[in-house]
Each structure stands twice: as C-alpha cells, then as structure tokens.
Chains A and B, each alone.
Chain A
C-alpha cells in the first residue's frame, strides 16, 4: 500500500470510529447523571460509614484497567499475525487508557485504605501485584513514547503486551492464593453486597465500562489521525 493510500485508509478508519464514539459520548453524559444519583442515594454502610461508597468507583476502575491490558494483548497478537499497523495502534490505545484506569485505581484504593485501615499503603499481596502491574504498563507506555517508531518496536511491544497480560489472573486470584495473610478484602461475589448496594455498583460498572470504551475509541481514533498526518508530511 502506498503512503497516500495508507493515510487515506487511516483517515477513513478514524471516521468510522467517530460514528461509534459520538453517540456513545452523549449516552455516557446522561448515564453519568444516573450514576451520580445512584451513588448519592445508596445506603450508608453500618460498619465503614460513607467511605464505603468508594466501592462504586474503585473496583470498576480495576476492571477497566484489566480490560485495557487485555485489549493491548489482543491488539499485539493480531499485529503479530497480520502485520497491520492498525492493530498496533489499537494496542497503544488500550495500554494508555488501561494505564489511566490503573493509576486511578491505585489512587482511590489508598484513599479508601487511609480512611478505613488508617494507613495509605500495605505490602499486601494484592497491592504489591497491582503495583507491579502498574509498572509493567508504565514501561509499555514509555517504550511506545520514546522507542523508535517502526515494526521492530511494534513487534517487541506486542510480545511484551502478551507476556504482561499474564499478570492479570495472578492479580485477580492472588487473594485466594495467599488466603488470610492479606489485608485487602476478598473479591466480590454474587450476594456479597448489602441490600441496596447492587444497583449503584452495577451503575458504576456500566458507566466506567462505557467510559473506558469511549476513551479507548477516541484514543484509537487519534492514533489513526496521527498516522494519517504523519504520512501526509512525508
């Protein structure tokens, strides 16, 4: 494919992403209002008090981070298989939005910990593996930001993303592996939330899940526009 037709294809793909991202953005704006109302009207926990409402933002951020890193691995695998740069751009977008969600998860968690455990941080297995996960994707982001653009970096990043994603099941199940030695609460299961807490939790997951999808599509779109303008400059 010539440079001109590559630039045109990237612009056309960015246009297709626009058609999905725009209505999603409007829907998200409306749903954010519903989410705010759900959190405000959720029952106050009898043990922790109001601070327990961080539950409606902290785990959904963790799921968004997981999703971002899975998207990075899938994009990397598809790039290795097909050689299409667009899959590499998808991997870049997934990693960046996943890293943002992971960072916010790493901020909201210690805020909750300080209010309930009385300390910002503990070298608990879940917290330690999460910090490792954050560093792994920070390194991925730095590789893409400062590495020389081209197929060599893209191939290395794809393999790195595929290896890095293996940490997600460990991150999720580390509490079961270490049993009661950790301070972090156990993973949520059906029926483990109190009365009236299921609905705001669902709203949090829906809004932050759609928020992830919106930001990811916009970031992927931007990566295509960058490719188009960079090709146009050559």
Chain B
C-alpha cells in the first residue's frame, strides 16, 4: 500500500475515533453528575 495513502486514512481514522472516545468519556462523566 502506498505510504501517503496509508497515513491519510490512518490519521483521519485515529483522530475521529479518538475524538468520539473523548466525547464518550466526557458524556459518562457529566451524566454521573460530576463536573
């Protein structure tokens, strides 16, 4: 696989998935009433 192609998709996937995980963590924290 072309390495430029790999990095374009890898950076996008990891960033979007990482952001979704951070949102989940924050949502659970706030849902339990913690600031």
> Are the C-beta atoms of B27 and A218 separated by less than 8 Å?
yes
> Are the C-beta atoms of A221 and B27 separated by less than 8 Å?
yes
> Are the C-beta atoms of B4 and A54 separated by less than 8 Å?
yes
A226, closest chain B residue (CB) = B30
Does chain B have a CB within 8 A of A61? yes
Complex formed: what's the CA distance from A57 to B23 in Å?
22
B28, closest chain A residue (CB) = A225
> Are the C-beta atoms of A229 and B20 separated by less than 8 Å?
no
> Are the C-beta atoms of A51 and B34 separated by less than 8 Å?
no
> Are the C-beta atoms of A222 and B5 separated by less than 8 Å?
no
Residue among B1, B5, B11, B26 making CB contact with A107, cutoff 8 Å: B11
Q: How many residues of B contact A (CB 8 A)?
A: 22
A54 neighbours in B (Cβ, 8 Å): 4-5, 8-9
Query: Which of A79-87, A109-117, A143-151, A176-184 lies on the face that meets chain B?
Result: A109-117
> Are the C-beta atoms of B16 and A104 separated by less than 8 Å?
yes
How many residue pairs at the A-B interface have CB separations less than 8 Å?
A: 70
In the assembled complex, the CB of A89 is this many whole angstroms from the nearest CB of chain B, namely 13
Knowing A114-B4, A115-B4, A225-B27 are in contact, say whether A108-B11 is a contact too (CB < 8 A): yes
Q: Does more than half of chain A's interface fall in helix, strand or loop, or is it mixed?
A: helix
A4 neighbours in B (Cβ, 8 Å): none
Q: How many residues of A contact B (CB 8 A)?
A: 32
Knowing A50-B2, A218-B20 are in contact, say whether A61-B12 is a contact too (CB < 8 A): yes
A211 neighbours in B (Cβ, 8 Å): 16
In the assembled complex, the CB of B18 is this many whole angstroms from the nearest CB of chain A, namely 10
A49, closest chain B residue (CB) = B2
Residue among A112, A114, A219 making CB contact with B23, cutoff 8 Å: A219
In the assembled complex, the CB of A38 is this many whole angstroms from the nearest CB of chain B, namely 13
A224, closest chain B residue (CB) = B30
> Are the C-beta atoms of B26 and A111 separated by less than 8 Å?
no
B9, closest chain A residue (CB) = A57
> Are the C-beta atoms of A51 and B2 separated by less than 8 Å?
yes
> Are the C-beta atoms of A115 and B2 separated by less than 8 Å?
yes
> Are the C-beta atoms of A214 and B20 separated by less than 8 Å?
yes
Does chain B have a CB within 8 A of A58? yes
B16 neighbours in A (Cβ, 8 Å): 100, 104, 211, 215
Residues of B within 8 A of A (CB): 1-2, 4-5, 7-9, 11-12, 15-16, 19-20, 23-24, 26-27, 30-31, 33-35
